[in-house]
Amino acid sequence: MDVGLVIAVILALGFAATNGIHDASNAIATLVATRAATPFQAILLASFFNLLGPFLVGAAVADTIAGTVTVPADEAIRVIGSGLAAAVGWNLITWKFGLPSSSSHALVGGLVGAALVEGGVNAVQWGGLDGLHPVGVFGVLIALAISPVRGALAALLVIRLIRLLAHRATRRWKAVTSGGQWVTSSALAFSHGANDSQKSVGVIAALLLAGGQTDSLQTPGWVIPACSIALTIGTALGGWRIIKTVGRRIYRIKSADGIASQSASAGVIFGASLAGAPTSTTQVVASSVIGVGGGRRRWRHVQWATVQAMGLAWVVTLPASALLAAVTFGVVQWLT
């Protein structure tokens, strides 16, 4: 196997790990913030269900990601490797500052930035929507833009339903909601693993095809377990900085709020996985927390300064990762 291909595959697994640090922390943020579980318990829970997700859901998201750029086979490894390096770098930068940035935006931005330098606008599959199925870059961006809105609206509806079912928070009700969070956190971690692990799977599939290791985008048997394990390692390393931002600095949530946020997010992400639509767990969970605040009619209690900082990070992520990838690809071209 070519050295460049090996490095690019390692970068893809590194992206899965940073994705786990970044996005999986959001799957357990509300569980920890409401003290339904300790950080250690929550990370173990998320790690286990993240590991299961990719094995039990199809590869529709992987196919979508693999079809975002079209470059010559002899340049594909350098293009994809540069995009991955930029995405990993951006993930680490935003993690360092505790910003819940989108790993999905970073990956798409990285791939597009490197592809544009290599072959111009024709190297990018711009696409759109084919029915409900996203195609190309625009399709991915549409899916990423819609999912937070769905998360917020779903959480708003769920918390209102919960309030109708429980007018008073008795001790027994608190015990039920605390236990319920374990269930909804598990579902969210499973959905996250099903969606996010596929992004690395799709990238590795494209790399192996470009490197002549396979004849199609069908991946060898080791790829899904490797990506799943890398994602799980990232989850186990934890993203405590981001847990604090999502679980405590957007809106002070209670147990019932955690159930509403997690169940809404899990439903949105799982549905997107079945449709082949990449989503950002970070954006969906953060938006669902805002939706919970709205569902309780406590908009003034939402920390809008935190929301603004997160929104800025989301907007900046795609162009920043694209620029990083463009520079990285230029350097790689010059060196090789």
Residue 7 has pLDDT above 90, yes or no: yes
Residue 321 burial (C-beta neighbours within 10 Å; 0-12, 13-18, 19+): buried
Least confident of 15-19, 149-153, 245-249, 282-286: 245-249
Which pTM does this prediction carry? 0.85
Q: What is the mean pLDDT of residues 264-274?
A: 89
The pLDDT of residue 10 is 95
Sequence-ordered list of residues with C-beta below 8 angstroms from that of 175, at least 6 positions apart, any chain = none
pLDDT in tens, 23-81: 666 667 777 777 777 777 877 887 788 778 777 766 677 777 777 777 787 888 999 99
pLDDT in tens, 92-149: 888 777 776 788 889 999 999 999 999 888 888 887 767 666 777 888 888 888 888 9
Domain boundaries, the chain: 3-327
> Which residues have C-beta within 8 Å of that of residue 133, sequence separation ≥ 6?
60, 64, 139, 275, 276, 277
pLDDT tens, residue by residue, 196-211: 888 888 889 888 888 8
Tens digits of residue pLDDT in 176-233: 666 778 888 888 888 888 888 888 888 898 888 888 888 777 778 888 889 888 887 8
SS3 of the chain: helix, strand, coil, percent, to 5: 80, 0, 20
